[in-house]
Structure 1
């Protein structure tokens, strides 16, 4: 049994029912849904838990609008930081701009925790998966993250406060290929905004970074050979969750290396907004240029915001915390202004 106020739905139909629903088909299962109040950034949110079978539960959070409104789903970057963390006595969003937008009350604003995400503090560098608590690294991959996002998005689209005719996905860094994949699979996704996005594959990003460096050609060739050897090592043991590379498991790298943001987005129908720092050291803007070029030649509706002198977070180095915060908000405000122009 689940708690008061919980609902059980048929996962194949998405229809909300008060109780157990028997669905057609031999493989259909009942999806248990529990929704409880949740407070963060002085906002009253909904914390929704979905349980389908014996796998990890899916957790998503929704800032409910005053009336039926478009859905905006933020998909965070790499690592195992939960969507919300305690900052002193107050719980706050960890995804940039999430709370700023949610406070406006004009959209149904959504965040999803990664599969097997723990609330325990990470004992390593944020953005990496080093020191992640619990079973996170034993399971995290492109496939498990996509399945989690699909379950959460499918359920959110059925909610009465969500206007499913307008859906914006904002994918940040690692979240970019995930947003592209969701846009490919969900025709309801009308708009996609990608921040610091890999355009081809993450393997290309590493090669582009080497080629863009100031190293001599001889040094570049040496580094490219090392990259090939590294990729071969991952490909030889792609399911390993005990071997780490650049802060993440082999499983994580092998699953993301196989994904092309451009391939997914070109198979979607969504409008696209791209924003990249021209001095991005994590994802070279050349990678995003590949994505932009492919969409352009297809005749797609795509906008590319190239931010001069900015890094991966779309802000310039050397700014004070207050200045950087304002600059970041301005970039996300531009995304929302673009979304509103549809």
Structure 2
């Protein structure tokens, strides 16, 4: 592993840049850290393509599992599905970004939840801090010599879907967006939609909807709390994401859109994605929707191994290449 370090003048604005190189089987990638003042560093990973290439950014789902584990050891691996195979092709500059205050320590809780996240993660994580981190990382990556900034694909998975939409709204450089298991309006709608599609009587569903309203009211009464939790995440996390609409943010972007959802998704109901699709279509947008029968949140039937979803990832990359 080779490390290089450069920094701007103390009185100037540029961030100090630290770059570490890693070899992974047949390809290499860099971990770039941007440090400004006393704030947490912005840290991202970028694979080295065979020649100057389009940028492909993966935005991971919820929780605090880092993009990579065991770097610098023989047990290194990626925690973002399909990142390594795509980077190994060397046709794209493939990117991932660490969440703000991401700890390298293992999470002491269920993946996807923020319970048990180490360090300062839950004291800072919100839609706004995550979007700011992504923007800084992408802007820095676009200036690198291995990146062809004329084509930028952002792939958002689950929680990453509204982030991808927000990034497309904020950065005109984003030309294409793939959203996997994406909500359409606010995530609050997803909770209600899941209640309606569940088994049970109308009385049962009404009780659950009333409980949902009570929980939302508690979050709205203390929206900046990072010590109170609901559904595995802090009130700050929920209030900041509830304020966002994937459909609205994409309406303010010019990116092409590809949607992929499992028709049996129990986390983000496909009806939420249908709302997004309907709004984009009626706006005359270039949008493709892949509805996958029998599949759950990971685009495969529940209980099936995630690698079986590779054909779905191949499909949206083929869509991107056809531009």
Q: State TM-score, norm by structure 1.
A: 0.90
What do the CA deviations read for 1:49-105 (whole angstroms, capped 9, x no partner)? Answer: 001222100110000101100000000000000010139832111001101100100
What do the CA deviations read for 1:158-188 (whole angstroms, capped 9, x no partner)? Answer: 1111000000000000000100001001111
1:163-242 → structure 2 map (5 Å cutoff) = 163-242=148-227
Tell me how far 1:222 sits from its aligned partner: 1.3
Q: What is the distance in 1 between the residues matched to 2:31 and 2:62?
A: 22
Task: Give the alignment partner of residue 265 of structure 1, picking from 241, 250, 264.
Answer: 250
* Distance change >3 Å, CA 129–CA 236, structure 1 → 2: same
Q: What is the distance in 1 between the residues matched to 2:28 and 2:3?
A: 19
Which residue of the partner structure matches residue 341 of structure 1?
322
Tell me how far 1:317 sits from its aligned partner: 2.2
Q: Provide the aligned C-alpha RMSD in A.
A: 1.7
Task: Give the alignment partner of residue 33 of structure 2, picking from 36, 49, 62.
Answer: 49
* Distance change >3 Å, CA 130–CA 283, structure 1 → 2: same
Q: What is the distance in 2 between the residues matched to 1:278 and 1:292?
A: 14
Q: Does 1:6 align with 2:5?
A: yes
* Distance change >3 Å, CA 60–CA 275, structure 1 → 2: same
Q: What is the distance in 2 between the residues matched to 1:67 and 1:145?
A: 30
Q: Structure 1 unaligned segments of length 5 or more: list them.
A: 9-18, 24-28
1:1-342 → structure 2 map (5 Å cutoff) = 5-8=4-7, 19-20=8-9, 29-40=13-24, 43-86=27-70, 89-319=74-304, 321=305, 324-325=306-307, 327-342=308-323
Q: Structure 2 unaligned segments of length 5 or more: list them.
A: none
Q: What is the distance in 2 between the residues matched to 1:165 and 1:21?
A: 33
Moved over 4 A (4+): none
User: In 1, are the aligned partners of 2:27 and 2:90 still within 8 Å (CA)?
Assistant: no
Q: What is the distance in 2 between the residues matched to 1:222 and 1:135?
A: 36
Q: State TM-score, norm by structure 2.
A: 0.96
Q: Residue 76 of structure 2 aligns to a residue in which SS?
A: strand
Q: Residue 50 of structure 1 aligns to a residue in which SS?
A: strand
